[in-house]
Amino acid sequence: MPCELILALDVPTREAAAPILRQLRGELKWVKIGLQMFTAYGPNYVREVAGMGFHVFLDLKLHDIPNTVGKAVESLCPLPIRMLTLHTGGGGEMMRAALAAQQKGNPDLLLLGVTVLTSMNDATLREVGVGAPAADQVARLGRLATDSGLRGLVCSPHEVAFLRAQLPPDTRLVTPGIRPAGEGGGDDQKRVMTPAEAARAGSTHIVVGRPILQTPDPAAATRDIIAQLRDA
């Protein structure tokens, strides 16, 4: 399947987001709403963005005891969302509770397991007591997620190729940590790739924020990234 672009709507206010979303209507299918905007504006903002014609990826990274996560998914299922994240580190029982709630409340919703955050590397994993390299930890959590029934993962683009060799072929792999060719670093993403590289590696979706949000012409930046994905 072709790799699709998701805009990470990581801005401080809905007022800041509004002109960007207006420019991108008709240019872009997917928008990711994360903790910042959801905490500020809640479910009604999800409905507002979906009402503009975007597919909403709600990135809340749920992580709690199985019953609490199941109930949270149950509460979120009526919203017009297409993807929702939870931490695979919560374990198989937690993921199965989330799946049971999703299948009952919104069969079309894709639950995505977050493996190792792209802000983390081997050194930061050691800080929290994980001695394995990031790639090994991603593989372990990815297998746990798919064995528990999840059909998609969030991972670094650098792990996509070897996950493709280990997981069911229809697993969706959503990859943040994407920087267009020529873009510098300087932020909290440590494991990055260009859009074309991620697509060739096997990503089904890429997540891009600042390279679109911080440019004078978000629509042009979006078209350029989509063209890179198409050419890849």
Active site residues: 61
* Dist. CA 26–CA 224, nearest whole Å: 14
Helical H segments across 106-217, by residue range? 122-127, 134-147, 160-166, 195-201, 210-213
Which residue's structure tokens are 């924020």? Answer: 209
H or E segment to which residue 67 belongs = helix 66-76
* Dist. CA 174–CA 8, nearest whole Å: 12
Backbone angles phi, psi at 4, to 5 degrees: -110, 150
**Which of helix, strand or coil describes residue 149?**
coil
Token pair of 90, please? Answer: 């919560």
* Dist. CA 69–CA 1, nearest whole Å: 30
Nearest to 95 by CA among 118, 117, 115: 115
